[in-house]
Amino acid sequence: MNGRGILVGDVSLPGRALLAPMAGITDAPFRGLAEEFGAGLVVSEMIASANLVARPSKAQHREMVRKLEHRGKLPHVVQIAGNEEKWLVLGTKIASDAGAEIIDINMGCPSKKVTNGYAGSALMRVPDRALRLIETVVNAAKVPVSVKMRLGWNEENLNAAQIARSAEGAGVQMVAVHGRTRQQFYKGKARWEPVREVVEAVKIPVIINGDIIDPASARKALTESGAAGVMIGRGAQGQPWLVGQIGAALNGSQPQGTPSGPVLLQLILNHYEDMLCAYGKELGVRVARKHLRWYFGAAKLELSRETSRAVLTEASPEKVKVLVREVFSRQEEVAA
């Protein structure tokens, strides 16, 4: 720990509340917003090493460039996933060439697409192999390496502490643990208390993750686990300010207020434009739909069924923006 932040090797994080990587969600526009609101770190969406290098199509290449985009002042963290040394070495090189200041290895993803290839959380089933791959990345990287994992593959194999200890021995500088097993996927509640075993097994910072949605759950997760910081994923959907607010609460500083009314409307419209720029109009309109849905849900904006359907199916960005404005003006009318 470094005062109010966390040290990852020689990289200093300004806060203790970090945005979790979420494929398809934590793109550059979203990460930019989370940073503006004071997140202590933002992590790119996972880049699967095999996809990166095995003759990417033009669309795959564009996607990779998009995922590697870095803005703002926070350290650039690129997450890689893979199950073979050669892919991870190449993934590390691509991340380094893109200016990564921390490289994160994904050992937590439960998706069958990823685990069938013995990547993501499947690596926790084969700790020797996981260690070999971690060593490979640490040796190939010139920057600190972190690992994101789960409690283990299943209840019978809660081996996060063992893997974290060997990862530390291999030179890993930070570990984030989602308090579920792979077999749980996202079911049930995340358990924070078992992460204490990981914290006690290593000297590097351990970050607790899973079901942290507000300052109270963040404090509870820290107390139960003894972790150095928290990582927030789904809770930040539709509320990119949440990570910064939780970080401020943990440090006892003044959090930025929750945007509402015209401020929220402008934020949403700016985010919308940013997504159209980042993805191009056609894809951008589709990518933006889930964010709009989350914004409306988080702000408890009441939408008629038709408006909701129109906002979420309309192909013209200009029309979507008109509809979004209408939702807010109707809200004002109701409040008046």
- Binding residues (CB under 6 A) for ligand FMN: these are 20-25, 45-46, 79, 106, 108-109, 148, 178, 209-212, 232-235
- Closest residue to ligand FMN, Cβ-based? 233
109 labelled catalytic: yes
Question: Nearer to ligand FMN by C-beta: 243 or 264?
Answer: 243
Q: How far is CA 73 from CA 7, 172, 245, 328, in A?
A: 16, 23, 18, 32
Find tokens 């990417």 and name the residue. Answer: 56
The one-character DSSP state at 187 is -
The residue length of the chain stands at 336
Q: How far is the CB of 114 from ligand FMN (least distance, A)?
A: 9
Per residue, the 3-state secondary structure of 231-279, as one string, reads EECHHHCCCCCHHHHHHHHHHCCCCCCCCCHHHHHHHHHHHHHHHHHHH
Phi-psi region of 72 (alpha: psi -120 to 50; beta: other; left: phi over 0): left
Catalytic residue from among 109, 123, 230, 278: 109
Question: Nearer to ligand FMN by C-beta: 177 or 323?
Answer: 177
Q: How far is the CB of 2 from ligand FMN (least distance, A)?
A: 23
Residues 6 or more apart whose Cβ sits within 8 Å of residue 49:
80, 81, 82, 84, 87, 88, 90, 91
Q: How far is the CB of 139 from ligand FMN (least distance, A)?
A: 22
Q: How far is the CB of 231 from ligand FMN (least distance, A)?
A: 7
Q: How far is the CB of 112 from ligand FMN (least distance, A)?
A: 14
Question: Nearer to ligand FMN by C-beta: 231 or 323?
Answer: 231
Residues 6 or more apart whose Cβ sits within 8 Å of residue 180:
150, 151, 186, 187, 188, 190, 191, 210
Question: Nearer to ligand FMN by C-beta: 151 or 202?
Answer: 151
Catalytic positions are 109
